[in-house]
Chains A and B, each alone.
Chain A
């Protein structure tokens, strides 16, 4: 078999005509309405045959004026809008914003609330990574079977979110100085069930995927992002860690109560699509460890501080002192930060979001050059973008 194949290859190599036909580059717009661009995102690609020689991301189709609206609204009124940035991970968006405002106004958060926040953030990480792997497989051509397995597991977590915060996806759950409501009765049992069953689901998922030949041959050594380039481009999150840079804000900043938990930061070695996939699987396993610890240690007590509760009851009276603050967290997609400037009024003077997927997207071209079109699609999928956050 192999010999025949070699012969065929060498023959076609030999048969190539000396003078090639007159060829030209082809410019293609992938998107904005393309199922594999994960939303209204357009890639302006120049192709030489099947090979990508230039790729320009075009964004802004989902621009909703988030920052300017926030400057005209009270601090709390922006909280439900942050849900709609990265609509898969509303809990971590809430958390990042709450941390930024707490830094600005100097609000303490009670112990129990900290634990609730960590639990919610790690559950969100599970949701995001499971979904991402599902959609990555979609881009690879495994149409919707893995995604639906992922959806099934995700729905269990979303049910928990719904029972506690009132909504599956637009949770609007965090408040400055705590959370909106205590965990609902029965939360812990449900959480325990999820924490116990999730590794089993991941095993099954991995059995299907991790050593699958097609996945390996499509993903390995595709879209390599070298370490130095990732650092230079300020990439964060699993994208950066897959390139082998040990940078996790949960460890670096130790915000909230993360220093109390024992967990590792999985790193990739090559920085290709496969590493990005595998880093996420490992991260989910670490998240489960954090959840186990948090579940054991969560103390009873208040879920919101006194100051926070008054602020939530009458948002217009909440006036942080003059100054500015930058609060950031390790969201599932990378560093999510909010920069706020207060002039002492109930509205922020400046409100800026540092969305991880927007900044990770800027190196898309460097990863895609020289790849085939089909590879460009999975590279985009492995970056993990949500257009609500990219365009704001």
Chain B
């Protein structure tokens, strides 16, 4: 009968792991957060941010409301800005994302035709109440393009190139249309 052998076998595995944790590199898998951190991966997505090019008063977002319509749990609220005469401006007056509802799916980023909304890497967002402090307003959501370059260098470069090409194409067609 081999009773007891199972225990020995099990302990041998445990012992091997124990010794390896000192001798073999990469065998300790626990990350001592917050002192240590995991490497950031570029495609990681948490919550959306809005991107502006030069100044936060002129965000890329044109308040087209597409992302709000496509957002599965409907957590984006957009109100278009108006000038004194009441004509619609191409920027949002209110842009709120309720982070307690957002499920980090990334659909808003995918559908935005103006490359204005992106998924952020920031995940340390704890707050004391879940209503107001997690309902992020425009001021908190707006981040400069340089920030995007910092967290997602490849994507940001690609998008910059794309936007530039668009701009150029616009410039080319404009003289034709005005003439």
A→B interface (CB under 8 Å): 73-74, 76-81, 145, 152, 155, 159, 162-167, 170, 172, 180-181, 184, 204, 207-208, 211-214, 312-316
| Bound Cα distance from A213 to B71, whole angstroms | 53
Question: Which of A79, A166, A313 makes the CB contact (< 8 A) with B43?
Answer: A166
| Residues in B whose Cβ lies below 8 Å from that of A172 | 105-107
Contacts of B107 in A (CB 8 A): 76-77, 80, 172, 315
Taking a contact as CB atoms closer than 8 A, the residue among A80, A163, A204, A214 that contacts B72 in the complex is: A80
Per-residue interface assignment for chain B, residues 92 to 107, with 1 indicating a CB less than 8 Å from any chain A CB and 0 otherwise: 0000000000011111
Measured between C-beta atoms, what is the minimum distance from A193 to chain B in Å?
Answer: 11
Q: Point out the residues of chain A lying under 8 angstroms from B9, CB to CB.
A: 207-208, 212
14 additional contacts, CB 8 Å, given A80-B105, A162-B41? A76-B107, A81-B72, A166-B45, A166-B106, A167-B45, A172-B105, A184-B43, A208-B10, A212-B9, A212-B10, A213-B2, A313-B113, A314-B66, A316-B70
Decide yes or no whether B63 CB sits under 8 A from chain A: no
Chain A residues within 8 Å of B13, by CB: 204, 207-208
Q: When A76-B107, A170-B103, A170-B104 are in contact, do A213 and B6 touch as well, CB less than 8 Å? A: yes
List 29 A–B pairs whose Cβ atoms lie within 8 Å, in order of A's numbering.
A74-B70, A77-B71, A78-B72, A79-B105, A80-B72, A81-B72, A162-B44, A163-B42, A164-B43, A166-B44, A166-B45, A167-B104, A170-B103, A170-B104, A170-B105, A172-B105, A172-B107, A184-B41, A184-B42, A204-B13, A207-B9, A208-B9, A208-B13, A213-B2, A213-B6, A314-B66, A314-B111, A315-B107, A315-B111
- Residues on the A chain within 8 Å of B10, using CB: 208, 212
Judged by a CB distance under 8 angstroms, whether B3 is at the interface is yes
The answer on a CB contact under 8 Å between B111 and A181 is no
Q: How far is the CB of A170 from chain B (nearest CB, A)?
A: 7
Partner pick for B110 among A165, A170, A208, A313, CB 8 A cutoff: A313
Whether the pair A316, B43 counts as a contact (CB closer than 8 A) is no
Question: Chain B 8-22 against A: per-residue CB contact (8 Å), 1 yes, 0 no?
Answer: 011001100000000
CA–CA, A207 to B66, complex, Å?
Answer: 55
| Minimal beta-carbon separation of B109 from chain A (angstroms) | 10
How far is A152 from B20 in the complex, measured between Cα atoms in Å? 15
A-B contact count (CB 8 A): 72
Among residues of A, the one whose C-beta sits closest to the C-beta of B2 is A213
Residue ID in chain B nearest A185 by CB atoms: B154
Q: Which residues of B contact A208 (CB under 8 A)?
A: 9-10, 13
The residues of B that contact A80 with a CB separation of less than 8 Å are 72, 103, 105, 107
> CB distance A166 to B119 under 8 Å?
yes
Q: Is B130 among interface residues, defined by CB-CB distance under 8 A?
A: no
Give the nearest-CB partner of B5 in chain A.
A213
Does B169 lie at the interface of the complex (its beta carbon under 8 Å from any beta carbon of A)?
no
Q: Is B29 an interface residue (CB 8 A)?
A: yes
Number of B residues near A (Cβ < 8 Å) is: 28
Would you call B29 and A155 a contact (CB within 8 A)?
yes
Contacts of B111 in A (CB 8 A): 313-315
Kindly provide the distance from the CB of A78 to the nearest chain B CB, expressed in whole angstroms.
7
By CB atoms of chain A within 10 A, which of B2, B5, B6, B14 has the most? B6
A77-B72, A315-B70 known; A152+B29 contact, CB < 8 A: yes
Q: Given A80-B103, A313-B110, does the pair A163, B41 have CB atoms closer than 8 Å?
A: yes
| B140 in contact (CB, < 8 A) | no
> Which residues 60-93 of B have a CB within 8 angstroms of A?
66, 69-72
Shortest beta-carbon distance, A8 to chain B, in Å?
Answer: 19
The answer to whether A73 touches B72 (Cβ under 8 A) is: yes
Nearest-neighbor residue (CB-CB) of A211 within chain B: B6
Residues of B within 8 A of A162 (CB): 41, 43-44
**Chain A residues closer than 8 Å to B45, beta-carbon distance:** 166-167
* CB-defined contacts of B6 to chain A, threshold 8 Å: 211-214
Chain A nearest CB, measured from B44 CB (Å): 6
The 3 closest A-B pairs by CB, nearest first: A80-B105, A166-B45, A77-B72
B28 → chain A closest CB, angstroms: 10
Known: A73-B72, A172-B106, A204-B13. A163 touches B2 (CB 8 A): no
- What distance in Å separates the Cβ of A129 from its nearest Cβ neighbour in chain B? 19
Q: Is the CB of B70 within 8 A of A77?
A: yes
User: Using Cβ atoms and an 8 Å threshold, which residues of chain B touch A312?
Assistant: 110
- In the bound complex, how far is the Cα of B105 from the Cα of A165, in angstroms? 10
Chain B: minimal CB distance from A73 (Å): 6
Q: Which residue of A lies closest to B72 (CB)?
A: A77
